[in-house]
């Protein structure tokens, strides 16, 4: 049995973010939840391994409020086998350091015999990219970040990742942890049959601080060594720009001036005039 653990997080839906325009803060209580896009890629990586090897078992773990069950059901609908929610008022407000600690406590206690641990590279709501590597630190296992492809071999994994202008091929012994690059493992859509199946049994395992054996004085909000002082939307300035002239010239100018912004927004590497010219 090849045992994979995927850590996933529920984040506010970007398209529906309700910002308080007066204070510039996010009304989190009104935000709709969704599975963090990077977590979805990590899960996709696990699902692709499962497609290749029948004896794969996928456990998805999330830490968050009761509402985070939604994404565990979604993960099960996609093909995960077991869903675990670490949820307790005393875990709320954990920074990345304590989040990794709590996740590690659960893994050490309930599934210490895992082969591969997968995380997204960074969540869409805080983008720290810290939980994965810190979790490997807590579990004393090797880790590699921003992985774009995974190949399993006897007791180890061979991965590729993009570093500057190079592709790097690396090998790592298992058990180990990988974080999945935001450009790799494009996630699949959920099949409706999977949703019906996922909800047939109400078997998301919910674990609280006591179950984990955390100290009775443990309080993540107080004990977190790092604190967020403020989150706000920097005032944006809108400007209308009219490009005039021949279409070819105007489009060329648009790509020259804004190509990076456009490709950033689309999440795609656009070939600009310069690149094509260079080739």
CA distances from 231 to 24, 138, 266 (A): 8, 28, 25
Nearer CB in complex with another protein: 74/181 = 74
Instruction: Annotate each residue in 236-255 with x if it binds another protein (CB under 8 A) or - if it does not, as one string.
Output: --------------------
Among 190, 205, 221, 262, binds another protein (CB under 8 A): 190
Give which of 19, 226, 6, 218 is closest to 130, Cα–Cα.
Answer: 226
CB atoms within 10 A of CB 20: 11
CA distances from 175 to 61, 102, 112, 228 (A): 17, 19, 10, 33
Tokens, residue 194: 């999977």
Among 5, 8, 79, 88, binds another protein (CB under 8 A): 88
Site for another protein in 29-68 (CB under 8 A): 32-34, 65-67
Rounded to a whole number of angstroms, the minimum distance from the CB of residue 168 to another protein is 31
Among 193, 215, 230, 239, binds another protein (CB under 8 A): 193
Among all chains, which residue has been given the structure tokens 């443990």?
218
Nearer CB in complex with another protein: 66/270 = 66
Number of residues lying near another protein (CB under 8 A):
26
Rounded to a whole number of angstroms, the minimum distance from the CB of residue 132 to another protein is 25
Rounded to a whole number of angstroms, the minimum distance from the CB of residue 36 to another protein is 14
Among 7, 46, 47, 73, binds another protein (CB under 8 A): 73
**270 in contact with another protein (CB under 8 A):** no
**181 in contact with another protein (CB under 8 A):** no
Instruction: Annotate each residue in 207-226 with x if it binds another protein (CB under 8 A) or - if it does not, as one string.
Output: -x------------------
d(CA 102, CA 208): 10
Look at the chain and count its residues: 279
CB atoms within 10 A of CB 52: 10
**166 in contact with another protein (CB under 8 A):** no
**183 in contact with another protein (CB under 8 A):** no
Rounded to a whole number of angstroms, the minimum distance from the CB of residue 32 to another protein is 6
**127 in contact with another protein (CB under 8 A):** no
Rounded to a whole number of angstroms, the minimum distance from the CB of residue 33 to another protein is 5
Among 54, 164, 165, 202, binds another protein (CB under 8 A): 202
Nearer CB in complex with another protein: 66/170 = 66
Tokens, residue 217: 């004085």
Residues that bind another protein (CB under 8 A): 16, 32-34, 65-67, 69-70, 73-74, 77, 87-88, 189-193, 195-197, 199, 202, 206, 208
């Amino acid at each position: 049995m090849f045992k994979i653990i995927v850590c996933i997080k529920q984040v506010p839906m970007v398209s529906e973010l309700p910002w308080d325009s007066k204070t510039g803060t996010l009304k989190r209580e009104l935000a709709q939840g969704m599975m963090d896009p990077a977590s979805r890629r990590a899960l996709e990586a696990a699902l692709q391994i499962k497609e290749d090897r029948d004896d794969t078992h996928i456990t998805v773990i999330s830490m968050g409020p009761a509402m985070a069950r939604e994404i565990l059901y979604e993960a099960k609908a996609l093909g995960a086998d077991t869903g675990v929610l670490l949820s307790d008022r005393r875990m709320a407000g954990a920074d990345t350091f304590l989040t990794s600690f709590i996740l590690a406590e659960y893994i050490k206690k309930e599934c210490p015999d895992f082969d591969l641990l997968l995380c997204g590279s960074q969540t869409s709501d805080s983008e720290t990219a810290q939980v994965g590597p810190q979790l490997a630190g807590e579990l004393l296992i090797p880790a590699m970040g921003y992985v774009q492809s995974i190949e399993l071999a006897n007791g180890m994994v061979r991965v590729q990742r993009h570093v500057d202008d190079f592709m790097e091929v690396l090998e790592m012994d298992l058990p180990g942890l990988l974080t999945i690059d935001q450009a790799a493992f494009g996630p699949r859509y959920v099949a409706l049959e999977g949703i019906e199946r996922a909800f047939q049994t109400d078997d998301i395992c919910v674990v609280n601080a006591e179950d984990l054996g955390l100290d009775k004085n443990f309080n993540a909000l107080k004990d977190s060594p790092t604190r967020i002082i403020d989150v706000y939307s920097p005032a944006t300035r809108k400007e209308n720009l009219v490009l005039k002239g021949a279409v070819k010239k105007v489009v060329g100018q648009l790509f020259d001036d804004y190509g990076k912004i456009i490709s950033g927004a689309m999440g795609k590497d656009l070939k600009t005039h310069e690149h094509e010219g260079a080739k």
